[in-house]
Chains A and B, each alone.
Chain A
Amino acid sequence: MKKNKLIFVLLLLCSITVVSSVGTFFYVKLNNNHTAAEDDILVMTSCNPVYIATLNVLDGVDGYRVENLSQPTTGCLHDYTLTTEDMKKLSKADMLIVNGGGMEGYLEDVMEAYPNLQIVDTYEDIEHSNGFIGMDTYLIKEEEKEHDHEEEKESLPLEGKVAAELTDEVSNEVSDEHEHHHDHGANSHIWMDDRLFKCQVTSIANALMEPNRNREETPISKNFLEYSNKLENEIDKQGLDKTLAGSNVAILHEAFAYTAQSLGANVVATMDLDEERQVSAGEVSEFLDAIRDNNVAIVFAEYDYGKSMGDLIEEQTDAKVVYLETLVHGSYDASSYITVQNSNFSKIRDIL
């Protein structure tokens, strides 16, 4: 082996080490903005809607720090993988609040890596009717679209049933049925229905108030009540729940099934588009036929992935396409849930 070749290799590897170390040092210097106290309770959230809910519940409460995992800039959360920064934060976190329902594909890995981390699954809380009796009927299961599960539906609790009326036997039966569904893809974009979002806020507040067994008034319970009232009073559906009640709509993103549900509309055709979705010609023609056959007047879509299909729909049918936000991307502040939902309803109102 020639000596100068060995020197070259050593110099090369040293140069790369020096350049990458210096680059990394300055990168860390520029991006290091952690100022919160280390002894605060660190509450991590998995996605923007859950983050917004938690921010509101813990607004101004001392001793807590809320941080969201890094969010993908495009696409949905299902296929998101954790970054090193996320893993670092999780290792220090006291609680991880997730949307659940299969939204966080990495959850099993997290549970395996951090067995002591308390995980609050808001979807599971609603699904198992933990304080939200009747709301589990609002969860949309994919199987129900494919198979006729009328018999199963009959065994589900009705909306408005109070906890006292539900015997333990029925409760267990419902949980078992739902576990079956949960294993097979559920539509987990539950925050898009404001009623379910309120349940998510309740689930988060319950988990954070857990040590307070006597349910005395605390800053957290005060925030929870305030935010619940805000959601109740400030979300303005602009009469759409009356205008669209019982009418047929089509959707180009499964999140909007919950938007339709919150307005009382029936989803008669779904084509879930994202950055990896490749649609077949047969699927498109079936979708267009469903729009025509069911006299669909309005289609809910996400602009990034639904625009070209939206243009095709408007060209081929009489339906109008409205582009809505799913609240997954972007930087959101504490008031953004209400703002974005109201903006979505305004867009629908404008197109009608």
Chain B
Amino acid sequence: MFSEMFSYAFMVRATIAILLISPLFGMVGTMIVQKRMAYFSDALGHSALTGIAAGVIMGIANTTISMIIFGICFALLLNYISRKGLSSSDTLISVFASCATALGLAILSRGGSFSNYSAILVGDILSITVAEIVQLIALFAVILVFWCISINRLTAISIHATLAKSRSISVRVMEDAFAVLIALLVMLSIKWVGILLINALLILPAASSRNISENFREYTYFSIVFSVFSGVCGLFVSYFTDMATGPMIVIIASVIYFATYIYGKK
């Protein structure tokens, strides 16, 4: 059964992609949940539409580039305005997300052509190519290096920003760097995961892990395990049942969340 599955090149590529993306989601997700940035990453996902629209307007053939540039600018701008403290951050993120989504939809649906871009809403991990897997390996390496270097500082900031500042940690630089990292992860994986599901994959494993963890090490390990398990199990089930891969991964991640929620309540 499994040998037949791996006789298909697309399944081998999809499995490698899942094994690369899911630990990153599990890892980065812990900090997103810890720093209460779930809404921020959701807004970033939705801004992908505007990134594509910007690419279309500027005539950029590879819209992934315009998505990444737009995502980074969007994340930094959000951080900058949030720091000004003119409005509560959830309101601000909501305004930015709505505005970006509407702008993207308005441009892409001009002349009824939105159907050309609607595939990005649900994503398609099965059509990933070798070149794109190489991109994911590079992303994996970048995030892993950043994580090893910055995890302690990020954790300190997430616990108490002022205290972190007093320990000579540049809060602004770290927050911006982390926002850029989320933007990179979201934009480079959105084509495979889809706008509608990417936040679920970022949040669910970390939230499940948080339900049962007592320290940051447990929190990170469990999150990665849940994320990789949901990804691989979802891919295999979707292969045999012919259901979409992204939603199947989210369903399994949701089951884990509810089970850990009940266990954590005990």
Contact = CB atoms under 8 A, between A and B. Distances in A.
Interface of A: 1-2, 5, 8-9, 12-13, 16-17, 20, 23-24, 27-28, 70, 75-76, 78-79, 81-85, 87-88, 91, 105-106, 109, 112-113, 185, 271-272, 274, 276-278
A83 B214 CA distance: 40
B141 interface: no
Interface stretch (B79-87, B110-118, B174-182): B110-118
Per DSSP, are chain B's interface residues mostly helix, strand or loop, or mixed?
helix
Contact of B127 (A79, A88, A109, A272): A109
A24 B116 contact: no
Interface stretch (B42-50, B161-169, B233-241): B233-241
Given A12-B259, A109-B127, A113-B10, A78 B116 contact: yes
Contacts of A109: 127, 129
Which 6 pairs from chain A and chain B are nearest by CB?
A109-B127, A85-B242, A79-B115, A24-B240, A79-B118, A81-B124
B9 A8 contact: no
User: Which interface residue of B109, B124, B126, B238 has the most chain A CB atoms within 10 A?
Assistant: B126
A133 B6 CA distance: 46
Given A5-B212, A27-B241, A79 B119 contact: yes
A81 B256 contact: no
Interface in B230-266: 233, 236-245, 252, 255-256, 259-260, 263
A9 B8 contact: no
Contacts, number: 96
B212 A8 contact: yes
Nearest to B9: A113
Nearest to A84: B239
Nearest to A270: B112
Interface residues of B, number: 41
16 contacts: A9-B212, A16-B233, A16-B252, A23-B241, A24-B237, A27-B240, A27-B241, A28-B241, A79-B116, A82-B127, A84-B126, A87-B10, A87-B11, A109-B129, A276-B109, A278-B105
A91 B212 CA distance: 43
A16 B256 contact: yes
B13 to A, nearest CB: 9
A91 B260 CA distance: 40
Contacts of A12: 256, 259-260
B37 interface: no
B90 interface: no
Contact of A24 (B114, B212, B214, B241): B241
B233 A112 contact: no
A62 B260 CA distance: 56
Contacts of A272: 112
A145 to B, nearest CB: 10
Contacts of A106: 127
A313 B114 CA distance: 24
Contacts of B10: 87, 91, 113
